[in-house]
Structure 1
């Protein structure tokens, strides 16, 4: 009889303490949250964090997400046993996973902006955030296996660190955005210093089965300074500043890139067909407009047969660009020689390229319609030299450049980008570049 009473008593006590805790001033309450951080700087070596890039890993991530969302009431059970959305089908989305003893025990997805936008823009206005410098990514589809949900942050914090390192080093992201249940927003505000997009709670968010949601954002460029202010004097297991910015976790397997690209697409035609046609009906449920947009994203012959068919009368060409564009972060130096022989060197960062030109960011003025030589670091060991001219300047020091005659390295690199859609495609297509 006594044992039967223990659980109800504990539940009542827990509820009472939570109510009392909520009466604390916000600043004090957040300080208490930070004292419960448990970010072990030396996680168990059985834990591995990586990009989910195989069918088995992706299935495990989507199944774990399904279990967590069904348990929370954020979705109804799906016959596939997985939660898969159209955003998972995009080459600009990266799914991260945490594996313990080779079993997926944690996952989250990072969604870069594309022609389909972000899930949360259905209910939150991102106009003010887009006016700021830097790319935006939505953190979505977060789930931790229930076996590890009560073990402090043994999976969650390493997964968050992986996200932080990936976004700041590889994913060319400055602003993170999230849409979370109101019950969880204070964790993101107090521990990671997310700021709400609006103080209002959206009472019915259809992306999570009509549950309420709060939107928030974090500027990754200013985050280290904020983390240092609040965590730098704490012991190692409480110091999120050191954990995110100084600690090196051998558990993390960052992608090995030969070139300074910013995405890590993994979906082959076979994987797209498996997850979005065979196991689920995500493609079949798309509007005709979104079906057409998927064809503009995957505009290679190999993908045509697995993409949803667009009725002839509903084809929409408005989403197509004349030339495909690719996101990169390549340092470069532009050299212009004046008639009197004076040399003007301008440091640039190339942020987007196509077969016939590129966009670059400069901190100083670049002469327009003046030809010069640019030296581009395409990767750690790949350098291209081309005659170019800046053709226009847009807001924020972004310049468009047109090319003269591209050199062999540039042509091989861009041709490889156009000929494939996955990270592996690029690596395989450029192995011969060492033979010059």
Structure 2
């Protein structure tokens, strides 16, 4: 257990704060969780309403997930690719959020091996060649030309989002998405300058962060979602992630890091904790995957981890001790005292996902003095609903487009 890092003055989690050049009304963040409300890859009224609910409910910053930088960078064909044809809808969404007094972030990324190449109509890319359990295709190893193109696409995406009125750009560097696949030694078997040593494996992450910062300057905050641990053999360990984030801090391109964990490809429940909804996932998957989920393989993929408040805190404290840059604590935050404890430990923001899906007004209720914990029971049955409109199944189904 790392000793607590106690700031000289403990900030008020519900008071205003600076995130890079952006002032937010409080230190609560709606974490990026795919909304399932873009069936044609465009902003819909359902997507706007989804984010309006948490913005009107009190969060300081809501994060739109997942905004792909290129067509092969989507996890599947229904996701938004940021570009001229999606800019108008994104601007409408940003304007709606600003009218509530909240700020808006866009999670910017390339899904890499987590992409379904068959759904997207183009083969997925990864650090190294590998089979895809999603598309039953081979995932292609990204060439240096691909990486140059993708870095340019990150820059273009950042420019478009800033022009559309987004306040924060969150670069996705976790969960075995493309950048994360380069960081993980078990997924990166390259022998060029992007493989081998940790410094080489971190090259793409640093390259993208610097390029995006150079493009947007002080017109937006630039953050990254990183892993405290990937949670699988061959993934990024906590020690490696401490070194990678130290490199990112030294580069000076980022305004904050959001500390996450797990792998969408190899071990998703490491991020979510609590019950593993194997049967619910099997019911919505394509036939080959559905069959696999109903075998012992399903239990190995969707492992169960005990849920407790702020379950990444112990590992996150090591990052707080090592780094001086602002950090966002994520992972099972449902209570006001947990948020206040995060501030006392030296974290700058708290990020929530499932708690706000169950209760979009939770932040306002906590500000008003509510003592009870959030109503989310961490059954995780919301997870399989990402294909039909992400929602809490304990409530009446939400309308979505």
* Structure 1 length-normalised TM: 0.27
Q: Which has the higher strand share?
A: 1
Structure having greater relative contact order (Cα 8 Å, sep ≥ 6): 2
* Structure showing greater Rg: 1
* Structure 2 length-normalised TM: 0.29
